[in-house]
Amino acid sequence: MDSSLLKTLLETLLALLLIYNIIPTLLTRFGQVGVISRARKGEGKVALTFDDGPDPRYTPQVLDILERYQVRACFFVNGIKARSHPDLIKQIALAGHEIGNHGFRHKAAWLLGPGATTREITETNRIIEKLTGQKTRFYRPAWGLFNLFSLWYYWHKDLKVVLWTYMSWDWDKRATAESVTRKILNKIRDGVILILHDSDSNPGASPGGPARVVDALPKILEEIKQRGLQVVPLEEIVLNKSNKPALKKAILLLWGLIERLIRRVAGIKDLGNGNTSIWRLALRRYRGKEWKMPGGFALRAGDYYIEIHLNNERLLELLDLNNENTSIERMAITAMWEVRRGLPELARLMKNDEKFSKAKVLLGITLLHRGAERFGFAVYDLKPGIFRTVAGWYEKMLLALFHPGGLKNLKSYRDKLSPKYVVMTREELMRRYSPAGTPDAH
């Protein structure tokens, strides 16, 4: 393999790793973007959470201690364990404790693609809701790790992502009941969210760790009370906090990085300086079967075409995205009129540029195709299959990110949100948009 090609490949893989895994985790764990890791100060409240259960050895002992001290906690459970121990889940719920989602098999998000990430969350939610009759509101990712898709998924599903303020290190093999107690009491403050574990069967856990928690818990609860603090359910300190604006901002930032990487790898360039033009484009060669179009023209294998994309940053400047009632129709009309203004620019490019003058067709894929015909485009359906599915998912995710109402306001348009080809032949473009007095040379 050519060394320059290998270097480009390695740089691309590293960039993908940074964007998909590392940057989302840094933003959330250290930047506290879109997550909750403590309560508001000044209210004298502390939250107590338990991860990795339920476990038939330890969870009942923890429940007995909490009942003795009249304290309610949140248990972040693994779906596979909840399915294996349904009676424990029901016991937790009947005791008045909250149940959060901690993934199905406790897999790190860094090792999961979009599909696996979705299954880890949805399957656990389904099990919890079936056993308790209550919708899951809280989520804590395994190992506290995130990927780009998980951030987007939490945001549009309105899951409250709850981390922790301090660790007790109860899972460490060197931990003792005394060390767990000491670490917590040294850090306990107004607004702290504590994390402990009621199972030791997940990778990385020290055998017998929850036994140390059971021994330490009474002293911890007694000391919290003596300090004038109150252990309260997560709902009292979490549900009144909205993380959507910050999370959406972070996702848009990450998406911008991804788009730049995709454009670099795919050779998609801004037209002009990128600040004033609606267009991004690339010159391609057609590889499919003969495609017959209006007016008798046919696009054949080997023909050049211009693959057109909208400049999303430019489009954002033009749309009223502070208004959650902005409709898809309004977005489509605004986009299409900006397209109309930019078509003469493409006509000049195809006329005067040596490279792009070889193209016979403009071709793009979009959800915002309403009204495209009035500007000279022909609109075609995508054939059913994986390409249409992926294209539709990609376009809908873009709309959800850019629309202020997110997917909530897009659900009513589900039947209309179908990606389609928009195509215009060179002849049609020149007939409509070629500058007067400069006839097309082709």
Q: How do residues 28-47 score in pLDDT, each as one tens digit?
A: 887 777 888 988 788 899 99
Query: Of 15 and 403, which is predicted with more confidence?
Result: 15
User: What pLDDT, on a 0 to 100 scale, did the predictor assign at position 193?
Assistant: 94
User: What pLDDT, on a 0 to 100 scale, did the predictor assign at position 94?
Assistant: 94
Same domain, residue pair 121 and 43: yes
Q: For the stretch 277-302, what's the b/e string if a residue is b when 16 or more beta carbons lie within 10 angstroms of its beta carbon?
A: bbbbbeebebeeeebebeeeeebeee
**Residue 388 belongs to some domain of the structure:** yes
**124-128, 198-202, 292-296, 333-337: which has the highest mean pLDDT?**
124-128
**Residue 255 belongs to some domain of the structure:** no
Same domain, residue pair 50 and 185: yes
Calculate what percentage of the chain has a pLDDT beyond 90: 48
Cα R_g (the chain), whole angstroms: 28
**Residue 358 belongs to some domain of the structure:** yes
User: What pLDDT, on a 0 to 100 scale, did the predictor assign at position 441?
Assistant: 47
**Residue 439 belongs to some domain of the structure:** no
User: What pLDDT, on a 0 to 100 scale, did the predictor assign at position 413?
Assistant: 46
For 62-118, the DSSP string reads HHHHHHHTT---EEEE-HHHHHH-HHHHHHHHHTT-EEEE--SS---GGG--HHHHH
90 pLDDT exceeds 90? yes
Give the confidence band of 99 by pLDDT, cuts at 50, 70, 90: very high
Task: Provide the domain count of the chain.
Answer: 2
Same domain, residue pair 311 and 427: yes
Name every residue whose Cβ is closer than 8 Å to that of residue 102 and which is 6 or more positions away in sequence.
Answer: 51, 52, 76, 77, 78, 124, 139, 140, 141, 142
Same domain, residue pair 188 and 300: no
**Residue 377 belongs to some domain of the structure:** yes
**Residue 262 belongs to some domain of the structure:** no
Give the confidence band of 396 by pLDDT, cuts at 50, 70, 90: low
Give the confidence band of 388 by pLDDT, cuts at 50, 70, 90: confident
User: What pLDDT, on a 0 to 100 scale, did the predictor assign at position 232?
Assistant: 92
Q: Are 192 and 284 in contact (CB under 8 A)?
A: no
Cα–Cα distance for residue pair 125/138, rounded to 1 Å: 10
> pTM of the entire structure?
0.65
Give the confidence band of 322 by pLDDT, cuts at 50, 70, 90: very low
Same domain, residue pair 351 and 204: no
Final residue of a structural domain among 242, 277, 306? 242
Same domain, residue pair 88 and 229: yes
Same domain, residue pair 202 and 326: no
Give the confidence band of 223 by pLDDT, cuts at 50, 70, 90: very high
Q: Which residues pair with 167 in a beta bridge?
A: 195
User: What pLDDT, on a 0 to 100 scale, did the predictor assign at position 241?
Assistant: 55
422 pLDDT exceeds 50? yes
Same domain, residue pair 228 and 377: no
Final residue of a structural domain among 186, 207, 242? 242
**Residue 55 belongs to some domain of the structure:** yes
**Residue 252 belongs to some domain of the structure:** no
The domain of 224 spans 12-242
Same domain, residue pair 273 and 238: no
419 pLDDT exceeds 70? yes
59 pLDDT exceeds 90? yes
Task: Give the model confidence (pLDDT) of 224-266 as tens digits.
Answer: 999 999 999 988 887 655 555 666 666 677 777 777 877 887 8
Same domain, residue pair 165 and 73: yes
The CATH number of the domain holding residue 176 is: 3.20.20.370
Same domain, residue pair 231 and 353: no
Task: Give the model confidence (pLDDT) of 107-140 as tens digits.
Answer: 999 999 889 999 999 999 999 999 999 899 999 9
Point out the residues that are catalytic: 51, 197
Query: Of 385 and 301, which is predicted with more confidence?
Result: 301
Same domain, residue pair 212 and 70: yes
The position carrying tokens 């902005």 is 326
- Respond yes or no on whether the N-terminal peptide bond of residue 207 is cis (omega within 30° of 0): no
